Amino acid sequence: MSDFKHIQTAHCENGVTVNLLQQQGLDFLNEPLAFGIGSGLFYIHIPFLKVNGGPGISFRSMPGAIFKRTCKALDVKVERKKFKSREAAKRYLDQKVDEGIPVGCQVGVFHLMYFPKEYRFHFNAHNLIVFGREGDEYLVSDPVMETTTRLSAKDMEKVRFAKGALAPNGHVYYPVQAGQITEEKLRQGIITGINRNVRDMLRIPTRFAGVRGINHTAGKVRKWRAQHGERKAGLFLGQIVRMQEEIGTGGGGFRFIYAAFLEQASEIFGNDKLIGISEQFTKSGDLWRDSALQMAGIYKGRITDQKHFEECADIMNEISALEKQAFKDLSKIKLG
Partner 1 sequence: MKKKELPQDDSPLENFTREVCYVKNEDGKYEKGLSSGWEVKTVALENAWEEIERRTEEAKQKVLNGEASPVLYYLELKLMDLPVLVGYTGFRRWQIKRHMKPAVFNKLSDKKLQRYADVFEVTLEDFKNFNI
Is there binding between residue 160 and partner 1 (CB under 8 A)? no
Instruction: Write down the least CB distance from residue 144 to partner 1, Å.
Output: 7
E-assigned strand segments in 158-227: 172-178
Q: Fill in the DSSP letter of residue 60.
A: E
- Between 97 and 295, name the residue whose CB sits nearer to partner 1: 295
Is there binding between residue 119 and partner 1 (CB under 8 A)? yes
Secondary structure of residue 197 in the 3-state scheme: helix
Is there binding between residue 40 and partner 1 (CB under 8 A)? no
Helix, strand, coil shares of the chain, percent, nearest 5, are 55, 15, 30
Q: Which amino acid is at 203?
A: R
Identify the residue among 246, 272, 334, 336 touching partner 1 (CB under 8 A).
246
Q: What angle do CA 169, 56, 142 make, to 5 degrees?
A: 45
CB-based contact 115:109 (threshold 8 Å)? yes
Is there binding between residue 27 and partner 1 (CB under 8 A)? no
Site for partner 1 in 47-76 (CB under 8 A): 52
Is there binding between residue 158 and partner 1 (CB under 8 A)? no
Is there binding between residue 282 and partner 1 (CB under 8 A)? yes
Q: Which amino acid is at 86?
A: R
- Between 76 and 260, name the residue whose CB sits nearer to partner 1: 260
Distant-in-sequence, close-in-space partners of 134: CB < 8 Å, separation ≥ 6: 150
- List of residues contacting partner 1 (CB under 8 A): 8-10, 31-32, 52, 110, 114-119, 121-122, 144-147, 163-165, 167, 234-235, 238-239, 241-242, 245-248, 250-252, 256-257, 259-260, 263, 282, 285-286, 289, 292-293, 295-296, 299-300
